[in-house]
Chains A and B, each alone.
Chain A
Amino acid sequence: MNKSYMNRLLKGTLTIFSLALLAFSQAPETVNYKCMIQLTNYEGEGAYVVVSILDGDGTYQETLYVQGDDAEWYRDIEQWWKNLYGVRRPELDGIVGETVAGGQRKMTVLKIPADKIDAGYQLRFESAVEDQEYYAQDIQFPLTTENLKQKMEGAGFIRYIRMIPQAQ
């Protein structure tokens, strides 16, 4: 067994360790934001709403919340399906809620990774109703601390959303 081989082995082991360490240290810290989604008075079934974080180029990063538990209809939320859910099938446990109907509102808590706030990311709300329209950008805004305190008006089935940091 020669020396260079030993060295390579040592290096490799170290790399694995450091990578593992990095992975643990990067367990993302999140901030709780209370979020209320108020729907418009449309007629029909409950609306499907998906809240996702996109990077500056508009690439899907992660899903924060899915309103609607019948996966049969997820395909209707086209952008999200094509770019994220339909491709990667991420685990949605704990972030799925039942749909609410037109005129109703929904309250939930969004866990937003702290490192993505004020870092050039976007928050997107897309909405769809069975057999009706789909709004890819019902609401979309830069993910900044300032924006997260605002009331945002929607363009589709969402009338507005309100968010406030959850008191710790």
Chain B
Amino acid sequence: MTISIWRYSHLALALISGLFLVLASLTGIVLAFEPMQSAVKPYQPKNLAEVSLATTLKALEVEYDEVLTLEVDANGFLLANVVTFSGDSNQIYVHPVTGKQLGVPEVQHPIFKFATNLHRSLFLKSVGRFFVGVVSFLLCFIAITGLFLIVKRQGGWHKLFSKVQKDYLELRYHVVLGRWFLIPIIIIAASGAYLSAERFSLLPNARLTHDITVSTEDGDMGTKPYELDIFKQVFLNEVRSVSFPFSDFPEDHFEIALADKELLVHQYTGRIVSEQPYPFTFLANEFSLALHTGKGSIVWSLVLLLASMALLFFIYSGLVMWRRRVRNGKVARIQNHKDDCSHIILVGSETGTTYAFAECLEQALTHAGKTVFVSQLNDYTSYAKAEQLIVLTATYGDGEAPTNARHFAQLLKTNPPHHNIHYSIVGFGSLRYPNYCKFAAELDNMLQAHPKFEPVLPLYKVNNQSTEAFQDWSRKWAVATNTALVLPVFKQKKVSLTSVNLRVVSITDINLDDTFILRLRPSKTPKFCSGDLCGFTPKEDGMMRWYSLAKYQGDILLSIKKHQKGKCSPFLSSLKPGDMVQGNIKKNPHFHVPKKVSELVCIGNGTGIAPFLGMFDENQKNIPASLYWGGRNEESLALYAPYLSASQASGKLVHLRTGFSRVATTKTYVQHVLLQDAEPLAKKLESGAVFLICGSLTMQNEVLDVLEDISQRQLQQPLSEFEQRGQLKMDCY
């Protein structure tokens, strides 16, 4: 419930103030350059902390006929209002020690003048200022609600700066930039709102008044101001301004504004006639002004500039996110009627990304001749002809239901189905979060406990919106329900590929598992690394197939399983040494061995062993490395034995554990072997070892469950902790 209040306020406030904010940020960008431009002027030749007020007073006395006022501006420049000996009254920058004129204050550039007016009052005087003030105030709340949403999304304050879940660009950077710019934006908005409140007298009076007791003392009228001790003790860095006595009469005083107080000083005796500290509101006002305008600080002006630009981006990306959410929320297409459909897809999604998977599945099911109804979990109701219920749901923040799935549990109670329905659940989430797919798991428990629902498949978890994993699930589901289901191809991001000519160095015979090793030598030496992918496009269908590669002594080593009905693997298996073949190399940086690593734990099954062979071979520093591998039997392992024993002999691989599924009566898979080594594995996890997993997605999910279990039991920490530290790398298919 709470999350939607935050989100609705965030959106509503942003929509109300959006147009003003666009104007304010655009003009803000322009205005940020003003303080930068003036701060670089060469009007501060001396460190003000080393120059006493008396020094400057003396210099000015010599240089000018009369001085009316002296001001130290935000840049530390001395601005004096003087009358020259020729009788001209001038406003000039002066040298603190010599008193000489350094420059003349420039008239505000028309562009800045225009931008200031637009920024401050939209050319509407007080009405405009009022609006701008209100918008600043709203912006505070937009930023604060935004901050809460991000914290919620990231799973707590301490994870604010952890990695951001993969998503579409606008959403991702709304979050990424939000983390950096929300605080500056809150400062800008709050200081702006404060200045407005001051302007409309909503705050206590910031004025300061002096009570002057009429002094009777005259002093020696020949005394020069610079001879007075008080001015010798005050240094320019503490001074805001000096107002000189109006006349020679002793009752006219020096008015000295210092950092925190104002003094009236007798012009001949130097006695402090009155001393008043500035009220808090005055200092707050000055501080707000400095923060809001960036006056006197190039660095802060730069922050203001970037924050203004970020604000524009937030407005744009926020609109995109809103549009997507609205579009996904209500299904605009002509839908089948819920009571006519045999297949019901229910979606739980916070950001709308899960809908892409739902649409894809809907298309495939429709193509397979099924009647499909897609809706959100919150719209759950009775479905007269439903046979299959498929739930695709994300989890929000700390294991909560996404907004459009909150009421499902309640609805299920009030609308129990009249006949039995098969169900399956796909949970979308990220391993980086401690409660990976927790809501999906809750739903699974809920439906399992329900007498009318029968599971088709166990809960399937999809990490980081992996399309491969979703494909894998769909194949399993298709088999389990005996449906001819082919998912349409997901839109793939374009990646730059390196095309290379490869010469076959050697090729092994096909073993019992229909698997063989292919060693290829690239004609050029393109940069690649074990864990990258090598792809081939068979002529028959033009579809690229990717294989995880090992870099073995400069060559590419692939472990390939020949599928009898396949198009690519039979072709590759028919190659002879010396043949040339065209291939592509794709970088796969998330599956590289990190540069700094204390220990490696490689886990894989079947052909998933390939990249590890190269990683061991390249392990020049003899970093302790272990391999857990699952295959059918000893003979499956024999294919790789020469590579493994060579690495073992040179200390590049120290620990090898295998599990065979076709040897004994009890099938041993790699996850079972891991469980046997629970204790040492927990220690490795704790000490920062990097775990690499390569092989089938089924194996990956089993292995992750076991590792999660080990981590929870032995270390009392969720596996996500280690995933966040980059200790978990996966490349499964």
Contacts and interface: CB of A to CB of B under 8 A. Distances in A.
Interface of A: 32, 34, 36, 41, 43-45, 70, 72-73, 94, 97, 101-103, 105, 107-109, 111, 130-131, 162, 164, 166-168
Contacts of B205: 43
B83 A32 contact: yes
Contacts of A164: 246-247
Contact of A36 (B91, B209, B246): B246
Contact of A41 (B121, B199, B209): B209
B297 interface: no
B207 A162 contact: no
Interface string B198-212: 010100010111000
B87 A41 contact: no
A97 B71 CA distance: 14
Contacts, number: 57
Nearest to B198: A45
Contact of A103 (B66, B126, B209): B209
B207 A44 contact: no
B71 to A, nearest CB: 10
Nearest to B126: A131
B201 A107 contact: no
B126 A107 contact: no
B117 A111 contact: no
A32 B90 CA distance: 13
Contact of A101 (B69, B207, B244, B255): B207
A107 B125 contact: no
Contacts of A70: 117
A109 B84 CA distance: 11
A102 B207 CA distance: 8
B83 A130 contact: no
A94 B205 CA distance: 32
Contact of A108 (B81, B87, B208): B81
A166 B65 CA distance: 9
A5 B126 CA distance: 64
Interface in B47-68: 65-66, 68
Interface string B114-141: 0001000101011000000000000000
Contacts of B247: 34, 162, 164
Q: Which 3 A-B pairs have the closest CB atoms?
A: A109-B89, A107-B68, A36-B246
A41 B207 CA distance: 8
13 contacts: A36-B246, A72-B123, A72-B125, A102-B207, A103-B207, A103-B208, A103-B209, A107-B68, A107-B244, A111-B89, A130-B125, A130-B126, A164-B246
A102 to B, nearest CB: 6
A131 B127 CA distance: 10
B717 interface: no
A109 B207 contact: no
Contacts of B126: 130-131
A168 B66 CA distance: 10
B44 interface: no
B81 A107 contact: yes
A105 B209 contact: no
Contacts of A130: 125-126
B125 A73 contact: yes
A51 to B, nearest CB: 13
B246 A43 contact: no
Contacts of A107: 68-69, 81, 243-244, 246
Given A107-B243, A162-B247, 12 more contacts: A32-B87, A43-B205, A44-B201, A105-B255, A107-B68, A107-B246, A108-B81, A109-B83, A130-B126, A162-B246, A164-B247, A166-B83
B536 to A, nearest CB: 71
Interface residues of B, number: 25
Contacts of B69: 107
A97 B91 CA distance: 9
Contacts of B66: 34, 166-167
A163 to B, nearest CB: 10
A132 B600 CA distance: 76
Given A72-B117, A107-B69, A130-B126, A168 B87 contact: yes
Majority SS of interface residues in chain B? mixed
A109 B117 CA distance: 29
Contact of B199 (A32, A34, A45, A162): A45
A105 B81 CA distance: 14
Contacts of A111: 89
Nearest to A103: B207
A30 B638 CA distance: 109
A164 B244 CA distance: 14
B224 to A, nearest CB: 16
Contacts of A73: 125
B140 to A, nearest CB: 23
A97 B79 CA distance: 13
Interface string B220-246: 000000000000000000000001101
A44 B89 CA distance: 29
B306 to A, nearest CB: 28
A105 B210 CA distance: 12
A34 B81 CA distance: 12
A45 B201 CA distance: 9
Nearest to B243: A107
A43 B68 contact: no
Contacts of A36: 246
A36 B66 CA distance: 14
Report which residue of B69, B89, B205, B207 has the largest number of chain A beta carbons within 10 angstroms of its beta carbon: B89
Contacts of B83: 32, 109, 166
A92 to B, nearest CB: 11
A70 B205 CA distance: 23
Contacts of B243: 105, 107
A164 to B, nearest CB: 6
A44 B206 CA distance: 10
A30 to B, nearest CB: 8
Contacts of A34: 66, 68, 246-247
A168 B84 CA distance: 10
Contacts of A105: 243, 255
Contacts of B246: 34, 36, 107, 162, 164
Contact of A43 (B121, B123, B201): B201
A102 B205 CA distance: 10
Contacts of A97: 91
A108 B125 contact: no
Contacts of B68: 34, 107-109
A97 B105 CA distance: 12
B288 to A, nearest CB: 16
Contacts of B123: 72
Nearest to A163: B246
Nearest to A109: B89
Contacts of B255: 105
A91 to B, nearest CB: 12
Contacts of A101: 207
A44 B246 CA distance: 26
A72 B87 CA distance: 31
Contacts of A162: 246-247
Contacts of A167: 65-66
Interface in B239-282: 243-244, 246-247, 255
B193 to A, nearest CB: 17
Contacts of B209: 41, 103
Contacts of A41: 207, 209
Contacts of B121: 72
B621 to A, nearest CB: 68
A1 B121 CA distance: 67
Which of A32, A109, A164, A166 has most chain B Cβ within 10 Å? A109
A71 B125 CA distance: 11
A97 B209 CA distance: 22
A45 B69 CA distance: 21
Contacts of B244: 107
A36 B247 CA distance: 10
Nearest to A70: B117
A124 to B, nearest CB: 20
A110 to B, nearest CB: 9
